[in-house]
């Protein structure tokens, strides 16, 4: 159950008639009128009901040998996510996700790493992965492939950044599980192939939505809008979309 911060009504979040995002957190409302009151003076209502921080999972190439422009784009994406107030989730791996984590950390954001390892020692020495730039590292012990599911399911939105076969697997999981997915165009790797891959699915409807943009800040804003206007009603294929109360 969630609580409308304006009228204090409690209800199932899937039955919310409106949702707003403020400083990276989501607030649910029983009506558009309550949402409008909140957006007019959010500081009046912030202590009435807690807002849930939205999380963005960034999936991309873990290869350290990346072009400088790709690294800069990943870093800028991390900064855009942090400045929006969202939490960043990555695989706590090297390469582009690490550059993204650096950007988020430098911008004062929350960075969470989902490790394939059982411990910090295994994370560093077996998987040769970084341990800085993370506020929290979750040790799944699931291996590289196993932790991908945890990455996707822990994220409200997923961004594909460059990448090869491993990132393609993460995209496939996100698509099949009905996630809201952003594709950072121009970041190389499989991002150039995703439109054709989606077209090859033959109209398979999982509830997933794919948003394309070449600008990290604009992509982050578009994902936020898509989530708060529609996708919150069915954030994954395991959630049954329900009609708003009324």
What the block records as the tokens of 68 is 């400088």
97 and 197 inside one domain: yes
Residue pair 101/113 in contact (Cβ under 8 Å)? The answer is yes
Residue pair 231/206 in contact (Cβ under 8 Å)? The answer is no
45 and 61 inside one domain: no
Q: Which of 182, 168, 176 is nearest to 207 (CA)?
A: 176
Other CB atoms within 10 Å distance of the CB of residue 143: 12
88 and 19 inside one domain: no
Whichever domain contains 12, its CATH number is: 2.30.170
The total number of residues written for the chain in this structure: 246
171 and 97 inside one domain: yes
42 and 81 inside one domain: no
- pTM higher than the cut 0.85: yes
6 and 61 inside one domain: no
Range of the domain at 203: 54-232
97 and 198 inside one domain: yes
CA gap 191, 79 in Å, rounded: 20
User: What total number of domains does the chain contain?
Assistant: 2
pLDDT 10s digit of each residue in the chain, 246 long? 899 999 999 998 888 999 999 999 999 999 999 999 999 999 999 999 989 899 999 999 999 888 999 999 999 999 999 999 999 999 999 999 999 999 999 999 999 999 999 999 999 999 999 999 999 999 999 999 899 999 999 999 999 999 999 999 999 999 999 999 999 999 999 999 999 999 999 888 999 999 999 999 999 999 999 999 999 988 888 876 544 433
What the block records as the tokens of 47 is 């202590």
87: left (phi over 0), alpha (psi -120 to 50) or beta: beta
């Amino acid at each position: 159950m969630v609580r409308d911060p304006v009228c204090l009504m409690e209800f199932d979040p899937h039955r919310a008639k409106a949702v707003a995002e403020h400083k990276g957190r989501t607030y649910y409302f029983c009506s558009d009128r309550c949402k409008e009151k909140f957006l007019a003076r959010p500081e009046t209502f912030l202590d009435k009901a807690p807002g849930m921080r939205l999380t963005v999972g960034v999936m991309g190439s873990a290869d350290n040998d990346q072009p400088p422009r790709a690294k800069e784009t990943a870093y800028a994406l991390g900064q855009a996510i942090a400045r929006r107030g969202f939490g960043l989730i990555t695989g706590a791996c090297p390469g582009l996700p690490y550059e993204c984590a650096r950007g988020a950390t430098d911008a004062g954001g929350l960075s969470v790493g989902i490790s394939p390892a059982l411990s910090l020692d295994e994370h560093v020495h077996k998987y040769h992965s970084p341990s800085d730039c993370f506020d929290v590292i979750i040790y799944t012990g699931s291996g590289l492939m196993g932790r991908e599911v945890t990455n996707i399911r822990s994220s409200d939105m997923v961004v594909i950044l460059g990448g090869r076969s491993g990132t393609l697997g993460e995209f496939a999981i996100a698509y099949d599980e009905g996630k809201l997915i952003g594709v950072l165009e121009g970041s190389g790797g499989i991002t150039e192939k995703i439109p054709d891959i989606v077209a090859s699915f033959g109209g398979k409807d999982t509830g997933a939505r794919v948003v394309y943009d070449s600008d990290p800040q604009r992509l982050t804003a578009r994902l936020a809008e898509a989530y708060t206007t529609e996708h919150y009603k069915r954030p994954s294929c395991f959630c049954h979309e329900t009609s708003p109360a009324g």
